[in-house]
């Protein structure tokens, strides 16, 4: 299993965070992932990280499919791969209508079909083939007298940059298993993974091109080698409340839908009601302790080892940790110790 670092959205203390990432690299971390919601963009930060790291992979976690043209997405990925010496993976996700329509002013429609076309266009661009694409949602070049079929001027370092698709719903997960190099999961409960995602993964893998190789699976988790106290897990509990309650409209919240499929339908409704009513502390308190524990990696070494085994059995191949320890020295030490535990598995 690969060990990665998941950065946060805040952007506060970025220079210090990058220094810390360099120390995580020395401690055995193999990958750093930068998110992009309605925060600072991921690309500028990834370019900076490319210059400050040497061997670890870089990935977007995730760039939104609606906010860039497919060709710009391909150009950006090729550019990040270029400046990093071939270390970039393109993490893509559709986000949700609240962000895409509310912040970007772009209609959120046909997420699965659009994603499929974007992946196809990106791979055509990276192969430096003349780009001619006639799909249901993208047509390149546009018809008329001015549009001319073109190919990328530069020669990319790789003509197959890895593509990771963020997905929660069955159709998106099936698409990831069919066309992507990897699937980026969120709030993965390894106990329920087979029941909730098994059919979708099998469906997608049944149509998968063998040349893609095995599907990689990554999952972000808050992490500490420490007693899982209420205080230590409070940020994770608050994040769960935010995603289940406020990261999406009442009738279209993908995280809320996910935990309902896990078996927390009543709790998901309560959390959403409280959060949308502005009672955020109460919404966080309503998140089941069992869900908090299942979607985090916090505990003493033996507990963490058992959780690593459960994640491996659920198909996870890359762990993206957000270290929770209070001091930088502790966080770096915990990552080094985790690398040691993972190497023993």
Q: What digits encode the pLDDT tens for the residues 84-99?
A: 999 999 999 999 999 9
Q: Looking at the 3D structure of the chain, how many domains does it have? A: 2
Alpha carbon distance 155, 106 (integer Å)? 32
Question: Mean pLDDT score of the chain, rounded to an integer?
Answer: 96
Q: Say whether pLDDT at 10 is over 80.
A: no
Angle at 234 between CA 184 and CA 304, to 5 degrees: 60
Contacts 24+ apart (CB under 8 A), 248-257: 248/96, 248/97, 248/98, 249/97, 249/98, 250/276, 252/96, 252/97, 252/98, 253/96, 254/96, 254/168, 254/169, 255/168, 255/186, 255/187, 257/168, 257/169
The answer to whether residue 250 sits within a structural domain is yes
Q: pLDDT of 26-40, one tens digit each?
A: 999 999 999 998 999
Q: State residue 250 phi and psi, 5-degree precision.
A: -55, -40
Q: Could you tell me if 264 and 133 lie in one domain? A: no
The answer to whether residue 229 sits within a structural domain is no
- 216: enclosing H helix or E strand: strand 216-224
Q: Could you tell me if 125 and 162 lie in one domain? A: yes
Q: Could you tell me if 147 and 94 lie in one domain? A: yes
Q: Could you tell me if 57 and 197 lie in one domain? A: yes
Specify whether the CB–CB gap between 240 and 213 falls below 8 A. Answer: no
CATH at 195: 3.20.20.30
Q: What confidence score (pLDDT) does residue 37 get?
A: 86
Q: What confidence score (pLDDT) does residue 13 get?
A: 87
Domain residue limits at 104:
2-224+297-344
Q: What confidence score (pLDDT) does residue 120 get?
A: 98
Q: Say whether pLDDT at 12 is over 90.
A: no
Q: What confidence score (pLDDT) does residue 43 get?
A: 97
Q: Could you tell me if 174 and 194 lie in one domain? A: yes
Specify whether the CB–CB gap between 20 and 332 falls below 8 A. Answer: yes
Mean pLDDT value of segment 75-83: 98
Higher model confidence: residue 220 or residue 10?
Answer: 220
Q: What confidence score (pLDDT) does residue 146 get?
A: 94
Q: Could you tell me if 188 and 313 lie in one domain? A: yes
Q: pLDDT of 158-204, one tens digit each?
A: 999 999 999 999 999 999 999 999 999 999 999 999 999 999 999 99
Q: pLDDT of 217-272, one tens digit each?
A: 999 999 999 999 999 999 999 999 999 999 988 889 999 999 999 999 999 999 99
Q: Could you tell me if 200 and 320 lie in one domain? A: yes
């Amino acid at each position: 299993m690969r060990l990665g670092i998941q950065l946060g959205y805040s952007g506060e203390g970025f220079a210090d965070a990058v220094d810390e990432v360099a120390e995580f690299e020395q401690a055995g971390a193999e990958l750093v992932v930068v998110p992009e919601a309605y925060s600072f963009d991921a690309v500028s930060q990834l370019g900076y990280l490319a210059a400050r790291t040497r061997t670890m992979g870089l990935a977007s976690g995730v760039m939104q499919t609606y906010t860039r043209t497919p060709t710009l997405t391909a150009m950006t990925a090729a550019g990040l791969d270029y400046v990093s010496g071939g270390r970039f993976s393109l993490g893509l996700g559709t986000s949700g209508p609240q962000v895409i329509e509310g912040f970007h002013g772009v209609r959120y429609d046909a997420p699965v079909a659009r994603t499929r076309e974007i992946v196809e266009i990106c791979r055509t661009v990276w192969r430096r083939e003349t780009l001619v694409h006639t799909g249901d949602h993208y047509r390149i070049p546009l018809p008329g007298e001015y549009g001319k079929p073109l190919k990328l001027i530069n020669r990319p370092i790789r003509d197959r940059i890895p593509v990771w698709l963020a997905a929660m719903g069955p159709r998106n997960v099936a698409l990831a298993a069919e066309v992507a190099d990897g699937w980026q999961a969120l709030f993965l409960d390894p106990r329920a993974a087979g029941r909730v995602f098994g059919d979708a993964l099998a469906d997608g893998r049944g149509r998968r091109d063998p040349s893609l190789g095995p599907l990689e699976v990554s999952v972000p988790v808050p992490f500490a080698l420490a007693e899982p106290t209420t205080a230590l897990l409070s940020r994770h509990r608050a994040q769960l409340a935010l995603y289940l309650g406020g990261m999406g409209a009442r009738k279209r919240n993908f995280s809320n839908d996910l935990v309902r499929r896990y078996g927390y339908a009543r709790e998901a409704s309560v959390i959403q009601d409280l959060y949308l009513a502005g009672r955020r502390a109460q919404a966080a308190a309503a998140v089941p302790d069992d869900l908090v524990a299942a979607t985090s990696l916090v505990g003493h070494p033996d507990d963490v080892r058992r959780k690593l085994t459960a994640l491996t059995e659920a198909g996870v191949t890359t762990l993206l940790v957000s270290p929770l320890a209070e001091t930088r020295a502790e966080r770096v030490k915990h990552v080094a110790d985790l690398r040691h535990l993972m190497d023993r598995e």
